[in-house]
Amino acid sequence: MAACCCHPLDSKNAFCYLSDMGNGTEKIKADDADRLERVAFWLWEYTRRNHHYRRYVDVIHNYLERFDEIGELDNVLNFMGYENLQVLLSDPDFDLTDNFLTQELSRKHGEIYAKYLFKMGILLSKFNMRFGRVLRDYAEGLDTRKALKDLLDGKEVSFRSKDQYDQYAVMHLRNEWMMTVDGDAPNLNMVTVEKDADIKLDPTKVLTHGTELAKEANSLNIYNQMYRNASKGRRIDYDTKIQVYQLGAAGKDIKPSGDQKRFIMLWLWDQAHDPEDKGDQPKSFDEVFPLLKEHLHEGYLSTLCHEVTSRKSRTRGYYQTTEQCIRELAILPFTS
């Protein structure tokens, strides 16, 4: 059963491996913390535009709204919260389909609401496995139209995420795991790991990849910490930020100039998918490409405008990479 860890800043929802070895190590750690904020920002912006993410969130919101209508939302969220889940999972007789809350819901509101609770629990578990992040309303995030206007006016726009749950989600970028727990790679559903859990390590990597295996083993502690932080209002600590980056995004370094290019491609993607204009289908790249010269020809972005408008085939590649990042929930490089 998945814990319902909802984003605390969302009003719509009820919802170190390095020792201190001197200035060199501290500089690496500081750089990794900065990189984490950049990667976390772009991962969220790509995720919230992903069709499947939006569908999951809409369905889960629908269940939450049903419980809110009958005055049971707080009880449901408490039931699925971290501390209560710890107790439930320690009970070998716990049954998601028949427990004190399903019985209470059935008695007061009808059996259908017990079924809603069961279905939402299964859906949250699948959500955790697929997206590796805390549930968050996809309406939250960068308004690319406003951000473009601000940039053209010479105002500063941040391409970093200070949100700890965006940062925790970067662990989900790890493509290959050498460690499994009961047949699965470490994931958000592993709030606790039972003593008899079947933990396996790739035997071909034990001797040659000991440091990476240690990082993977520590991921279980990090997931557990995330839920504890959510339940007690704590923030992610500095050393954990470093661990999260090294585990999920090591080698991904988005430079400030790369931020601008990613932003322009995201703005262009939003223009192609504008619900007021698109009808049933998004516009093609060729249809929205002229908007670049129309909107970026002056001021702060004029140099970038020249680059992306004078090399259409290269810009098409950037745009296709953006589409792939959104589709695959990935941080892929913009290659020339």
Task: Output 264 or 22, whichever has higher pLDDT.
Answer: 264
Q: Which of 81, 218, 59 is CA-nearest to residue 130? A: 59
Whether the predicted pLDDT of 194 surpasses 70: no
Same domain, 159 and 274: no
For residue 336, tell me if it sits in a domain: no
Per the structure, the count of domains in the chain is 2
Say yes or no: 192 and 209 in one domain. Answer: yes
Q: What are the φ and ψ backbone dihedral angles of 262, each rounded to 5 degrees? A: -60, -40
Shared-domain flag, residues 151 and 285:
no
| pLDDT tens digits, 261-277 | 999 999 999 999 987 65
- Residue 137, in any domain of the structure: yes
CA–CA distance, 83 with 227 (Å, rounded to integer): 9
Average pLDDT (242-249) is 92
- Domain edge (last residue) among 253, 269, 304: 253
Same domain, 186 and 297: no
Q: Are residues 188 and 226 in the same domain?
A: yes
Q: For residue 247, is it within any domain?
A: yes
Q: Is residue 14 part of a domain?
A: yes
Among 253, 281, 310, the domain boundary falls at 253
Q: Residue 93: inside a domain, yes or no?
A: yes
Please give the residue that has the higher pLDDT: either 252 or 263: 263
Domain assignment present for residue 333? The answer is no
Is residue 146 located within the same domain as residue 169?
A: yes
In this structure, are 33 and 9 located in the same domain? Answer: yes
Beta bridge partner(s), residue 181: 184, 199
Q: What per-residue confidence (pLDDT) applies to 21?
A: 37
In a shared domain, residues 242 and 263: no
Number of helices (H), then strands (E), in the chain: 15, 2
At 79-118, the pLDDT tens digits run 887 666 666 656 667 676 788 888 999 999 999 999 999 9
**Kind and range of the H or E run holding 181:** strand 179-181
Q: What is the C-alpha to C-alpha distance for residues 181 and 170, in angstroms, rounded to an integer? A: 20
Its domain, for residue 63, covers 1-253
CA 55 to chain centre: 15
- pLDDT tier at 19 (50, 70, 90 boundaries)? very low
- Residue where one domain finishes, among candidates 204, 227, 253: 253
C-beta separation of 144 from 270 below 8 A = yes
pLDDT tens, residue by residue, 275-309: 765 566 899 999 999 998 888 766 566 677 777 88
State whether 185 and 312 are in the same domain. no
pLDDT at residue 43, as a whole number? 97
Same domain, 150 and 68: yes
CA angle 290, 291, 294 (to 5 degrees): 95
**pTM of the prediction?**
0.86
Percent of the chain with pLDDT over 70: 81
Residues 241 and 307 in one domain: no
Residues 101, 108: Cα–Cα separation, whole Å: 10
Is 335 inside any structural domain?
no
Among 93-97, 117-121, 315-319, which is the least confidently predicted range? Answer: 93-97
- If asked whether residues 276 and 239 sit together in one domain, one would say no
Rounded Cα–Cα distance for residues 284 and 265 (Å): 13
Confirm whether 334 is domain-assigned. Answer: no
User: CB-side exposure of 111: number of CA atoms within 13 Å?
Assistant: 2
